[in-house]
Amino acid sequence: MRNLKGKIALITGGNSGIGYATAKELKKNGAQVIITGRRKEAVEQAASVLGVTGLVADQSNLMDINDLAMEVARCFGKIDILLVNAGVTKFSLIEYMPESIFDEVMNINFKGAYFTLSKFIPILNDNAAVVLLSSTSAHISPIQASVYAASKAALNAIMKIAALELANRKIRVNAVSPGPVSTEIMGKIGLTQALENQMTSTIPLSRFGKAEEVAKLIGFLASDSAAFITGSEYLIDGGQCI
Ligand SMILES: NC(=O)c1ccc[n+]([C@@H]2O[C@H](COP(=O)([O-])OP(=O)(O)OC[C@H]3O[C@@H](n4cnc5c(N)ncnc54)[C@H](OP(=O)(O)O)[C@@H]3O)[C@@H](O)[C@H]2O)c1
């Protein structure tokens, strides 16, 4: 299936996990892909293996977001697919939540995502597709994930308003909300076997998702096959939210 031929895609946080798998999927389907991330070596390594363009940018930093948008416009003109994927997970009970973790999670997952969308709107082609990476955490209320869940619930809210604001340009905006997916993020949160078992027990299909499965859904939403879909949130969670 090469239904993205001639399309240009930007993926924030494309050097690992879901962003990486989606870069591979979109490229396989014919798109020209640009990935970002903070770690220069990881971005260069991923870009080289995938055969895509890698740009270093911190999506929580407004100057970086502006520079990224200008660099993409300079090198590629306008883009057709924007995947706002860069994100982090940090846990704490509300009672003990440090301001530093609150700010870090909100600055990357929400403020950064918001201004990435905002600054890229002028360089989206009409008929472009935007996908925001949300999470089932916005629905299942996992303890210790209050800030993470709030950051994703906030994304879901702006996704719908963006879909309305951009409909006159036929730009579609949707959200994809995975349940637990085996990616590098799990190592970053210090996933233990006990925690994995506990999380798996909340999933009717009794397993974690794969990054490639999420990538295929994003590939569909980014394509013209989804031309009548906007303002929707797609759960991909093995039934976790039932
Ligand atoms: N895996 C899951 O179970 C799961 C479930 C639901 C939702 N999600 C969401 O899916 C998205 C991708 O997560 P993942 O599981 O693929 O995790 P991952 O493998 O840890 O990937 C996260 C990516 O985001 C990048 N990133 C993080 N902060 C960034 C920043 N400030 N600026 C630029 N890039 C940044 C990382 O690169 P650098 O470190 O180089 O910056 C990395 O490429 C996240 O938004 C996450 O919340 C994941």
Residues 115-148 have pLDDT tens digits of: 999 999 999 999 999 999 999 999 999 999 999 9
Torsion of CA 191, 192, 196, 198, to 10 degrees: -120
- The bridge status of strand 79-84 relative to strand 124-133 is parallel
Question: How does the average pLDDT of the chain come out, rounded?
Answer: 97
- Which residue do the tokens 């597709």 mark? 129
pLDDT surpasses 80 at 226:
yes
User: What is the position in ligand 1's atom list of the atom closest to the CA of 19?
Assistant: 16
Tell me which residue has its CA closest to atom 36 in ligand 1. Answer: 13
The reported pLDDT for the residue numbered 114 is 98
Cα 185 to middle of ligand 1, angstroms = 6
pTM of the model: 0.98
> Looking at this protein, which amino acid is placed at residue 9?
A
Among the ranges given (26-35, 62-71, 182-191, 212-221), the one the predictor scored with the smallest mean pLDDT: 182-191
| Average pLDDT of the residues in 12-37 | 98
Q: How far is CA 22 from the centre of its chain?
A: 9
Alpha carbon 204 to chain centroid, angstroms: 24
Ligand 1 centre distance from Cα of residue 168 (Å): 31
Query: pLDDT band at residue 186, thresholds of 50, 70 and 90?
Result: confident
Ligand 1 center from residue 140 Cα (angstroms): 20
**Which CATH number fits the domain 8-236, given the four candidates 3.40.605.10, 3.60.20.30, 3.10.450.50, 3.40.50.720?**
3.40.50.720
Closest CA to 232 of 185, 171, 150, 174: 174
pLDDT band at 85 (very low <50, low <70, confident <90, very high): very high
Q: What angle do CA 136, 142, 144 make, to 5 degrees?
A: 130
Q: What is the predicted pLDDT for the residue at 191?
A: 85
CA dihedral 204, 208, 213, 218 (to 10 degrees): 90
Our mutation pick for probing the ligand 1 site, out of 24, 185, 188, counting the most ligand atoms within 8 A of Cβ, is: 185
CA angle 131, 135, 138 (to 5 degrees): 120
For residue 2, what pLDDT is reported?
66
